């Protein structure tokens, strides 16, 4: 007579502490995946903002050189104008009217308007007249408008570079926090005591949510 074969027993369901830990590993894995994605996003944004900061800084440096060149060119032009004016005065006091007309006809617009305004004061007879046409209310330094415009744009570009650098640094700082999230989420399951294990995971979750809120408030490149 054959003895009946025992029926295969179904696998025992985890009970006690093991049953309570069933949710722990999936939660840690999801958190680590999200932290990895967040870290990659922050690294990308930090790189983009760093590039923008470099571009703005380069443009600011170019504008600074341009403003300096315009200022130098303006001073050189003023020196030429003053030389022409001195030659004109020498010719006038020497009575060389033909030479006076030669210089006068070749005055540029900047010095011509200053010279005419100075002559209108009757400087040869009026002791209260300006000593020469190169006073500020008569003579305007050439290229001053272009130089001022270049300096203004330089200041703006410098501000943009600093702002972009700040955004880059903030994104980079969040990659460090997200690395901490990865560390705590990855090591939380190694602790035997439930309180330590859960506290470590909850700390990782809180840090991740903090980073998420801060990242949401940052501009996107």
User: What Rg do the C-alpha atoms of the chain give, in angstroms?
Assistant: 39
Please say if the pLDDT value at position 6 is more than 60: no
Residues 221 and 218: their CA atoms lie apart, in Å, by 10
Give the pLDDT of residue 1: 46
- Kindly list the distances between the CA atom of residue 108 and the CA atoms of 76, 84, 85, 147, 159, in Å, as whole numbers in the listed order: 14, 10, 11, 20, 38
Torsion of CA 13, 14, 20, 25, to 10 degrees: -100
CA 32-214-160 angle, to 5 degrees, is: 125
Whether 74 and 143 have beta carbons less than 8 Å apart is answered as: yes
**Token pair of 71 as six digits:** 């200022």
Per-residue pLDDT band at 17 (split at 50, 70, 90): low
Give the pLDDT of residue 219: 93
Give the pLDDT of residue 4: 53
What is the domain partition of the chain in residue ranges?
28-216
**Token pair of 139 as six digits:** 């003579």
Per-residue pLDDT tens over the stretch 40-66: 999 999 999 999 999 999 999 999 999
Specify whether the backbone of 142 is left (phi greater than 0), alpha (psi in -120 to 50) or beta.
beta
**Token pair of 112 as six digits:** 């011509």
Per-residue pLDDT band at 21 (split at 50, 70, 90): low
Per-residue pLDDT band at 12 (split at 50, 70, 90): very low
Q: Tell me the CB-side half-sphere exposure of residue 148, using CA atoms within 13 A.
A: 5
Q: Which residue would you say has higher pLDDT here, 26 or 165?
A: 165
Per-residue pLDDT band at 5 (split at 50, 70, 90): low
Per-residue pLDDT tens over the stretch 131-161: 888 888 888 887 888 898 999 999 999 999 9
**Token pair of 220 as six digits:** 């996107």
């Amino acid at each position: 007579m054959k003895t009946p074969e025992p029926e295969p027993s179904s696998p025992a369901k985890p009970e006690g502490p093991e049953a309570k830990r069933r949710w722990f590993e999936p939660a840690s894995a999801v958190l680590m995946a999200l932290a990895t994605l967040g870290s990659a996003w922050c690294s990308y944004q930090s790189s983009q903002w760093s590039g923008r900061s470099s571009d703005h800084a380069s443009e600011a440096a170019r504008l600074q050189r341009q403003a300096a060149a315009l200022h130098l060119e303006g001073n050189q032009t003023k020196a030429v104008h003053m030389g022409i004016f001195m030659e004109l005065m020498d010719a006038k006091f020497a009575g060389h009217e033909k030479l006076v007309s030669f210089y006068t006809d070749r005055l540029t617009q900047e010095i011509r308007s200053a010279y005419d305004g100075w002559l209108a004061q009757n400087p040869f007879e009026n002791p209260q007249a300006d000593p020469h046409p190169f006073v500020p209310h008569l003579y305007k330094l050439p290229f001053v408008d272009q130089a001022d415009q270049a300096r203004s744009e330089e200041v703006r570009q410098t501000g943009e570079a600093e702002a972009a650098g700040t955004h880059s640094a903030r994104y980079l700082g969040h990659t460090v926090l997200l690395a901490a999230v990865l560390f705590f989420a990855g090591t939380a399951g190694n602790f035997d005591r439930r309180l330590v294990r859960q506290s470590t995971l909850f700390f990782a979750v809180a840090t991740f949510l903090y980073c998420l809120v801060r990242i949401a408030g940052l501009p996107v490149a």
